Amino acid sequence: MMELIAALLLLLFLSVGFAGAALVDGMLPAFLAGQSRPSWRRPIADAARLLQTQRIRTEAPDALLWFLAPVLYLALAIIGLAVIPFGPGLVTIPSEVGIVVWGSCEALTIVAVFMFGWSANAPLPLIGAYRYVAIALPAMLLSMFVLIGAALPAESLGFTEIVEAQRRVWNVVRQPAGLILFLMLGLAISLRGPFDYADPADLAGGTTADVSGPMVLAWKIARLTMLVSVSAVTATAFLGGYLGPLLPGFVWLLLKTALILVVLVGAGNFFARMPPARMMSVIWTMLLPLSFLMLLAVGVELLLWG
């Protein structure tokens, strides 16, 4: 029964979250770029245009994978969200290892993006796909260390326990740098700004360069849904998830997710993207050791004062 309610809430969360993400993603960059009053109708109009555009077939594409890539990406976003609790005991897929489920969604996202770039059988999408694998792999390693740091105080890998363990103090206080590293993962997993190595302007759209019409729309929908999911996971792991006074837990989670989402969209437009080799060395030699240190710090803190 609780699962059924949670599943309905999941649908509600997804639709509200997606609509919000589409609006924020459509309007915030336009506003930052100097338009005083960007139109809220624009994302819908864009979607209508893409739906009426022909779907192009390139020469000898891998048609099956091409079709499956956005589907897989979207599915991973939804599965990742399904292990997030909307209230005490209110979770669609109750799992004692929620972090592991989410971690596998992260890892498989690399596969989905690679499939998408591979299938067009063209050089620019393929370069985007290769590059993304190179950057996303260490980025996701990083996120797992950060998440383990969040799981240590709860002594559990389940998201419900992680939230309950934050009743005294939110994880963002315990490891603020962890939140920042996890936001970087959020940018990488939803292909944004400084971590968008798959679909950037310097590759004329990268994995989407040879995709048109409804396929572009499907890819955009999957990306935005993943943005919602990763924001919800961040809010759950660091901002206390559904915890909060007065309002129902579901609403609190939605509000916190919205906050993270705006931060992610903003950050995606604020920071420059390094060439991939430079980014790789930053991740492997600076950020990964940093995440080890933070894990160590949380462990020592719990040993001494836990």
Partner 1 sequence: MAVSVLSNWAGEAPVAVFVAIGEGMRDRLERLFNDARFVRAASPRHAAIFLIAGRMRLEDREDLRRLHDQMPHPRVTLLWNAEVGEALGDAEVFTGSTLEVDIEASEAGRSDDAVRDRLEKLWQELASGERSSEPDLLHDEPPNSWEGIGPHGQGGQGMMGGTPYGRPMAMTSDDLRDGLALDLYTARFGPFLPMFPPGLLLEMTLQGDVIQSVKVVRPPLSQAGGNDVPAALLRLARLLDVLGLPVLGQRARLAAVGGATSVPLEKLSRAIHWAGATLAIPRGLGAVEGYGDTRTRFANLVSVANGFSPAMWPGLTRSAHLSSILPGLEWSEAMLVLNSFDDETLSTLAAIVEGADEDRDGHDHDSGHMHHDHGGPHDHDRHQGHGGRGSHLGNDYHGRHGGHA
Residue type, 230: V
The span of 15-23, 141-149, 154-162, 207-215 binding partner 1 (CB under 8 A) equals: 207-215
Site string for partner 1, 165-204 (x = CB under 8 A): ----------------------------xx-x---xxxxx
**Binds partner 1 by CB under 8 A, chosen from 68, 121, 138, 248:** 121
**Is residue 285 within the footprint of partner 1 (CB under 8 A)?**
no
Distances (CA, A) of 194 to 1, 121, 183, 220: 43, 26, 12, 18
**Is residue 57 within the footprint of partner 1 (CB under 8 A)?**
yes
The least distance separating partner 1 from the CB of residue 59, rounded to whole angstroms, comes to 4
Q: Of the candidates 270, 258, 215, which has an alpha carbon nearest to the alpha carbon of residue 17?
A: 258
Q: How many residues bind partner 1 (CB under 8 A)?
A: 62
**Is residue 58 within the footprint of partner 1 (CB under 8 A)?**
yes
Round to whole Å and give the CA distance between 153 and 186: 23
Round to whole Å and give the CA distance between 165 and 24: 31
**Is residue 147 within the footprint of partner 1 (CB under 8 A)?**
no
The least distance separating partner 1 from the CB of residue 29, rounded to whole angstroms, comes to 5
The interaxial angle of helices 249-270 and 214-238, nearest 10 deg, is 120
CA dihedral sign of residues 64, 70, 73, 76: negative
**Binds partner 1 by CB under 8 A, chosen from 3, 16, 23, 53:** 53
Residue 136 in contact with residue 219, Cβ under 8 Å? Answer: no
**Binds partner 1 by CB under 8 A, chosen from 271, 297, 299, 301:** 271
**Is residue 127 within the footprint of partner 1 (CB under 8 A)?**
yes
User: Would you give the DSSP letter of residue 205?
Assistant: T
Q: Of the candidates 29, 104, 83, 81, which has an alpha carbon nearest to the alpha carbon of residue 227?
A: 81
**Binds partner 1 by CB under 8 A, chosen from 1, 4, 246, 272:** 272
Structure tokens at 59: 């020469």
The least distance separating partner 1 from the CB of residue 42, rounded to whole angstroms, comes to 7
Which residues bind to partner 1, rule: CB under 8 A?
29-30, 32-36, 38, 41-42, 44-49, 51-60, 120-127, 130-131, 193-194, 196, 200-205, 208-213, 216, 269-278
